[in-house]
Amino acid sequence: MPKILSIDDEPLMRKMILAALKPLGYEVSTAENGLDGISQAQKVLPDLIITDVMMPDIKGYEVCRRLRRDPRFAQTPILMLTSQSELEEKLQGFEAGADDYMLKPFQSAELAARVAVLLRRAESVKTEVPLADSARLIAVQSLRGGIGSSSLAVNIALALNGLWGTPTLLMDLVLTAGQVALMLNTPLKRTWADLGRAAPSDLDAEMLQTIIGQHESGLRVIAAPTYPVEAEELTAELLEAAIGLLRPQYDYIVADLPHDFSNVAIQTLDAADLILLLIAPEIASIRAAAAAMDTYGKLGYPPDKIKLVLNWTFERGGLPAKDIQKALRLPLALVLPFAPDKFVGAINRGRPLLHAQPEDPLSGILEDFAFQLSKDRHRSVPPAVPSPAWQRLSKRMAAKAK
């Protein structure tokens, strides 16, 4: 019987929650304010927490933040109830680590449905079975910001997850201002910062599990902290230890890298099987890409480890693709057509293109590219139970073969 904790200073609201959930078989306990709610949570260890935002002692945002600092509540679903509908309120809830956000007054049926969905997601996290072989690590980088690196990383990770249905992890390593969780509309329950001052030798799989979130698609995510100062303790040595522990648990790991060669970036690039270097068709981007290529060479990376991806960020007037390839002495592995409205809209809605519009031609381009990046054992043998993503890919392949 799932245990639910309701934190609300309004007696009527607590009664409404009890009336909506208790008849469905949930064990519901209540708390009258934020501090009492935190204390109750530590005693009861609920499977799900419902908290009001505006309370007399501390707000629901602070309740959420304090609970997320406790590893016992790292993955516990938290649903926020509020009478405020403004975007700023929702963003605050997201930043605090809430899973969902619901306006008051609410319909009992909707509350019950939201609770059921959140509990199912939490259960799926607990039942994941690790893989025996090592993950293919794909690093996405550009030394020039603002040309879609994070969007590419998010959509490639979603494509790999959708094609093969095997554990896939997306790591946000843009520690100064990572946006992957926002793009996926995934709450910041825990981030890299919650590893705290752990020594690399003390890190274990159980500790890492507490900072891994899950998108509704099933994609696993390690988010970057909201503020750069929170990430100061993530050293290259700690990241190396984390990658070593994570690789046996996943088939694919996609890392969104910062626009630099910091220690964390170099550690990830060293460990990567493939590097997707994103460029735009303008001289500043090509210059930055040339600098990146030169650095990759000095780091000893073979040319076949690097895949050039051109994002056509201009409708017209960009540098010709043939000139870009000649300047960088590397062929383009992928060209993304001019489609700013699709990517910007996806970011603002927290609904990545490939997840929200899988039938869009641009989604097809990304899925086809993800197939090319996949492990040989996946590309050579069709899955026993084809996913919708695989079925779309198969149709496109058949059409091209005609």
Looking at residue 101, which CATH number applies to its domain?
3.40.50.2300
378 within domain boundaries? yes
Q: What is the mean pLDDT of residues 294-320?
A: 92
**Which of 64-73, 126-135, 217-226, 231-240 is the least confident region?**
126-135
Question: Distance between CA atoms of 296 and 142, rounded to whole angstroms?
Answer: 12
**In terms of domains, do 120 and 196 share one?**
no
pLDDT of residue 71: 75
Q: Which residue, of 126, 156, 179, is where some domain finishes?
A: 126
Give the CA distances from residue 141 to residues 37, 159, 263, in Å, rounded to whole numbers and listed in that order. Answer: 43, 18, 14
Q: What CATH number is attached to the domain comprising 261? A: 3.40.50.300
Residue 227 · residue 192 · CB < 8 Å: no
Q: Give 105 or 285, the one with higher predicted confidence.
A: 285
Q: Which residue, of 80, 107, 126, is where some domain finishes?
A: 126
252 within domain boundaries? yes
**In terms of domains, do 159 and 37 share one?**
no
Confidence of residue 201 (pLDDT cuts 50, 70, 90): confident
Q: Which amino acid is at 338?
A: F
Confidence of residue 327 (pLDDT cuts 50, 70, 90): very high
Question: Distance between CA atoms of 274 and 369, rounded to whole angstroms?
Answer: 13
| pTM as predicted | 0.75
pLDDT of residue 126: 61
Q: How many domains does the chain have?
A: 2
**In terms of domains, do 269 and 211 share one?**
yes
Task: Look over the chain and give the mean of its residue pLDDT values, rounded to a whole number.
Answer: 89
Give yes or no for residue 371 having a pLDDT over 70: yes
Q: Give 83 or 6, the one with higher predicted confidence.
A: 6
12 within domain boundaries? yes
pLDDT of residue 33: 93
**In terms of domains, do 96 and 194 share one?**
no
Query: 83-122 as b/e, with b when 16 or more CB fall inside 10 Å?
Result: eeeeeebbebbbbbbbbbbbeeebeeeebbebbeebbebb
pLDDT of residue 223: 93
pLDDT of residue 299: 93
pLDDT-above-90 percentage for the chain: 62
166 within domain boundaries? yes
Q: Which residue, of 82, 107, 126, is where some domain finishes?
A: 126
Give yes or no for residue 75 having a pLDDT over 70: yes
For 12-56, the pLDDT digits (tens) are 999 999 999 999 999 999 999 999 999 999 999 999 999 999 899
Question: Distance between CA atoms of 47 and 6, rounded to whole angstroms?
Answer: 11
116 within domain boundaries? yes
pLDDT-above-70 percentage for the chain: 96
* Domain of residue 326, residue span: 136-401
**Which of 4-8, 84-88, 288-292, 363-367 is the least confident region?**
84-88
pLDDT of residue 86: 65
191 within domain boundaries? yes
**In terms of domains, do 107 and 234 share one?**
no
Backbone angles phi, psi at 221, to 5 degrees: -140, 135
**In terms of domains, do 94 and 229 share one?**
no
* CB-side neighbour CA atoms (13 Å) of 351: 6
**In terms of domains, do 82 and 162 share one?**
no
pLDDT of residue 87: 67
**What residues contact residue 4 under an 8 Å CB cut-off, 6+ apart?**
21, 26, 27, 28, 29, 46, 47, 48, 49, 50, 115
For 79-109, the pLDDT digits (tens) are 998 877 666 677 777 777 888 888 888 889 8
**In terms of domains, do 165 and 254 share one?**
yes
Backbone angles phi, psi at 225, to 5 degrees: -65, 160
310 within domain boundaries? yes
Q: Give 228 or 148, the one with higher predicted confidence.
A: 148
For 139-163, the pLDDT digits (tens) are 999 999 889 999 999 999 999 999 9
Q: Give 132 or 239, the one with higher predicted confidence.
A: 239
Give yes or no for residue 125 having a pLDDT over 80: no
Give yes or no for residue 274 having a pLDDT over 50: yes
**In terms of domains, do 274 and 185 share one?**
yes
131 within domain boundaries? no
**In terms of domains, do 193 and 121 share one?**
no
Residue 28 · residue 22 · CB < 8 Å: yes
Longest distance between any two alpha carbons in the chain, whole Å: 70
**In terms of domains, do 244 and 317 share one?**
yes
Confidence of residue 132 (pLDDT cuts 50, 70, 90): very low
Give yes or no for residue 347 having a pLDDT over 90: no
pLDDT of residue 130: 46
Q: What is the mean pLDDT of residues 233-262?
A: 92
Q: What is the mean pLDDT of residues 59-82?
A: 86
pLDDT of residue 85: 66
**In terms of domains, do 269 and 325 share one?**
yes
**What residues contact residue 180 under an 8 Å CB cut-off, 6+ apart?**
150, 153, 154, 170, 172, 174, 221, 223, 224, 256
Question: Distance between CA atoms of 26 and 118, rounded to whole angstroms?
Answer: 14
Residue 255 · residue 139 · CB < 8 Å: yes
pLDDT of residue 293: 95
Question: Distance between CA atoms of 322 and 331, rounded to whole angstroms?
Answer: 9
Give the CA distances from residue 227 to residues 90, 188, 230, 307, in Å, rounded to whole numbers and listed in that order. Answer: 18, 12, 6, 31
Q: What is the mean pLDDT of residues 331-335?
A: 96
Give yes or no for residue 129 having a pLDDT over 50: no
Query: 257-285 as b/e, with b when 16 or more CB fall inside 10 Å?
Result: bbbebeebbebbbebbebbbbbbbbbeeb
Confidence of residue 131 (pLDDT cuts 50, 70, 90): very low
